[in-house]
Amino acid sequence: MKGLLVVVLSCWSCVTAEANERSRQLALQAFDAAYNLDHREAIAFLDQAVQADPNDADAHRAVAVIAWLRIGFLRGSITVDDYLGSVSKPNINMLPPPAVEARRFHTHIARALELAEAELQRRPNDPDAHFRVGAIIGTQASYGATVE
């Protein structure tokens, strides 16, 4: 789980200065809380981040990422095979994701993508805008590989 969180945090660290500073700080606090398995606190920080800037695509992506991490934690399994494809047949039956967390993921990843694509339309030559869209699509793909 810590390896996955390191990957997620490295993707998160590329937030642009355009994001609301309060939103960005709250999201960083949320990832710190999630790293320490305090998911409730992480969710509370992210709710505040989205309230601080409802149009911050990175804050919405962070909500989705924490929901995804929580699903993995609650299900008790995230393996390399979940990302790279199964080398062997899985020997565990995965529970469906908790509906609240799955809904949280889908709601916020969709909003993040909507905001990021709008930014990319406004600034098609901005590498940060391209990165943001790619990070969101990568998060969606990782969720699909590990949860659905």
pLDDT digits (tens, 9 = 90+) for 18-63: 558 999 999 999 999 999 999 999 999 999 999 999 999 999 999 9
Nearest to residue 14, comparing CAs of 101, 96, 136? Answer: 136
pLDDT digits (tens, 9 = 90+) for 86-134: 555 555 677 889 999 999 999 999 999 999 999 999 999 999 999 999 9
CATH 1.25.40 corresponds to the domain 2-146? yes
| Residue keyed to tokens 């993040």 | 112
Q: What is the DSSP letter of 98?
A: P
Structure tokens at 73: 């934690």
Encode burial over 101-111: b for 16+ CB neighbours within 10 A, e otherwise: bbebbeebbeb
DSSP 99-128: HHHHHHHHHHHHHHHHHHHHHHHH-TT-HH
